[in-house]
Structure 1
Amino acid sequence: MSRMGDVLAGFHAAWEFESDSVLIRFERGIRTPKLFQALGERRIPHEAISAVTLSSGKRGTVVLHAVPRPGADPLMEAAAGQLKENCDPYRLVLPAERETLAEYYADELRAQLPPDDGESPDRFLVAPPEAPLQFKAYDGKASFDGKLVSFRWFWTGASSAKWKAGDQSFPVTDLSGIEWRSPEVFEGHLRLLRRETPVAQPAQADQDPAAVVFGLGYGPVHESLPFAASVLAAVRASGPAPNSDGLGAVAAAVTPAVRRDPADIAERIRHLGELHRAGLLTDDEFTVKKTELLAEL
């Protein structure tokens, strides 16, 4: 049995092993992923971990991985598998010469995990990032105070549909979950899923007043994902969502695409051009997406 308070330090983080949990403290150095810096530290109860693995990493490293139990952590539920490996807060990367020590701690941690019954917990076991939170998306500013999510539109980026709808506020009690699409994947967004809507939400996030869209420098992972996780945790704490599994991160209901305002198309093409010039889109990707947008006119 490892002594309570033992610490295993790796690149970008240190894990402190306690009697009922692992306390992960992330470094704030310039080389540390921004998501880790934003999280600061996280306490992961043993019951939130389903398995522990140790494997070879890149360039003379080993990776200790505490596999989170599905439904236990609002951050990982919101991420929905979209995080890059180097931004996974459950991976501790160590120099290869510490493999024996890492193997010892992996075995000790495995021995303390409760039996995994394969079922999702009925509540989140890991604390969400603290509210209040806010970040700038491409088409508006998103704010959350723990009870109310607010979107304030930017005239430079918001679609005419959002301008017509006006600034939006959503009590968490009116929401069933969230849909987060990483800005590191093409056309990221944060969409709020409502318990009851008079009509189905638009398929396109830039047309949905319950969504903000991301872009070059807008809605980065280290800002938008903790925000999404905090909202998701508040939604789940407010009562069970009407979907079958009780989790918040469910797919949005969509309707067939509608013809867009030409001004919106022009704005999206301008944004594509920015991504292309910044080297984030290849010539082919830019051409294909531009053709798709023009076909919607």
Structure 2
Amino acid sequence: MGEVLAGNHATWELESDALVIRFERGIRTPRLFQTLRERRVPYEALASVTLTPGRRGTVVLHAVPRPGADPLMTAAAGQLKETCDPYRLALPGDREALAAHWREELAALVPPGPADPEERCEGGFLVAPPQGPLSFKAYDGKAVFDGSSEVSFRWSSTGATSEKWKSGDRFYPVRELSGVEWRTPDAPGGCLRLLLRGAEVTAERPDHDPASVVFGLGYGAVHESLPFAAAVLAAVRGKERAPVPAGARGAAHGNPGVVAERIRHLGELHRAGLVTDEEFAAKKTQLLAEL
């Protein structure tokens, strides 16, 4: 054990119980790799190891993770470009013999898996979520995760739709979430959507859904939004799946400080002419009723 293999943008090291992947820091290294820095992958989190020809005369070692073993790859849901896949290591073609030796060494450490290689891991994730970032700027607001219990969306005065402004900043306890949907910012429709337990998505368009933040040019970059989604997903998976107690839903909004802030925000919308007198009165009454 302790063998180290250096490839493009990363090194692999075989330890007694895990494959340790350390990523380089440099202008040519994908920013996602720089954010991840290091990943410790228990051998039981791997399904197989492959060696295939790569681009421009390279060969690629691919430690294939088991479905559901890694929150990062679960959140990515197959949307990552091959060059940004942290489980792929490219080496010069003249090192193919060494790469083949590594494939055999690593494959021998992977324990026998289920008969169906697509069978998902049960229970918690086998790979720890990335350490950060736990906040990022989206086109229509800022997403913040406290690392364990709550996700908040604070809307932008310029990017958020009137529907989101009228709903006020949102606070979602992790215990009320069933999952996270991440759509890459590298394709149209990029967004991060929180999935609420026992609730259906009420707005197909993420710019109208208060449980979503929208990406855009320069907003919600992969190296920021994907580790965020993975961290939230890991927290959701780690929570007990007990029913939410009656009255617990919306408890964050029942906090006097939160309610006061939302009423202040509502007043700003009213003075700006974005809500009518009737809407202002009705919403204020609703907020006061949460206390």
1:43 is aligned to 2:40:
yes
Q: CA deviation at 1:196?
A: 3.0
Q: Could you say which residue in structure 2 is the equivalent of 1:190?
A: 192
**Percent identity of paired positions between Structure 1 and Structure 2:** 66
Please name the residue that 2:62 is paired with. Answer: 65
What is the match of residue 108 of structure 1? 105
What RMSD in Å do the two structures reach over aligned CA positions?
A: 1.4
- CA drift of 1:121 comes to 1.6
Structure 2: distance between partners of 1:53 and 1:225: 25
Q: Using the TM superposition, name which of 123-132 and 170-179 deviates more.
A: 123-132
Aligned to 1:18: 15
Show the counterpart of 1:126.
127
Give 2:228's aligned residue.
Answer: 227
- Write out per-residue CA displacement over residues 16-49 of structure 1, whole angstroms, 9 at most, x where no aligned residue: 0112110000001110000000000000110010
Report the 3-state secondary structure (helix = DSSP H, G, I; strand = E; otherwise coil) of the residue aligned with 2:5. strand
TM-score computed with the length of structure 2 as normaliser: 0.80
Conservation of the 8 A alpha-carbon contact between 1:177 and 1:241: no
SS of alignment partner, residue 33 of structure 2: helix
Checking the alignment, whether the CA contact within 8 Å between 2:36 and 2:131 is kept in structure 1 is: no
Are 2:160 and 1:163 aligned?
no
Conservation of the 8 A alpha-carbon contact between 1:52 and 1:66: yes
User: Match for residue 29 of structure 2?
Assistant: 32
The amino acid across from 1:43 in the alignment is R
CA distance in 1, matches of 2:39, 2:173: 27
- The alpha-carbon distance between structure 1 residues 115 and 217, as it changes in their structure 2 partners (threshold 3 A), is same
TM-score by length of 1: 0.78
SS of the residue corresponding to residue 164 of structure 2 reads helix
Secondary structure of the residue that 1:150 maps to in structure 2? Answer: strand
What per-residue deviation string (whole Å, max 9, x for no partner) do you get for residues 132-190 of structure 1?
Answer: 61000000000001211010000110000000100001011000001000000112000
Segments of 4+ in structure 1 off by > 6 A? none
After superposition, the Cα gap between the structure-2 partners of 1:10 and 1:241, relative to the gap in structure 1 and judged at 3 Å, is: farther
1:200 shift after superposition: 4.1
- Tell me the distance in 2 between the aligned counterparts of 1:81 and 1:70: 11
Q: Using a 3 Å threshold, how does the CA distance of structure 1 residues 201 and 30 change in structure 2: closer, same or farther?
A: same
Residue pair 2:132, 2:227 contacting (<8 A) in 1 also = no
Count of residue pairs brought into register by the alignment? 238
TM alignment of 1:145-184, pairs within 5 A? 145-146=146-147, 147-184=149-186
Pick the aligned partner of 1:94 from 91, 96, 99.
Answer: 91
Equivalent position of 2:278 in the other structure? none
TM-aligned CA deviation for residue 120 of structure 1 = 1.7
Any gaps of 5 or more consecutive residues in structure 2?
244-291
1:28–1:178 distance in 2 versus 1, CA, 3 Å: same
Distance 1:132 1:222 in 2: 9
Please say which structure displays the higher CA radius of gyration. Answer: 2
SS at match of 1:239: coil
Give 1:116 deviation, angstroms: 1.1
Q: Deviations over 1:191-231 (max 9, x none)?
A: 0000033x642111000000000000000000000000000
Q: Secondary structure of 1:98's partner?
A: helix
Inter-partner Cα distance in structure 2 for 1:96 and 1:133: 38
| Matched position secondary structure for 1:130 | coil
> What residue is the counterpart of 1:76 in the other structure?
73
Residues 71, 120 of structure 1: 8 Å contact kept: yes
In structure 2, distance between residues paired with 1:239 and 1:208: 26
Closer, same or farther: CA 53–153 of 1 in aligned 2, 3 Å: same
Equivalent pair of 1:132/1:143 in contact (CA under 8 Å): no
Give the superposition deviation at 1:130: 2.2
Flag structure 1 segments of 5+ consecutive residues without an equivalent. 243-297
Q: Deviation of residue 239 (structure 1)? A: 2.6
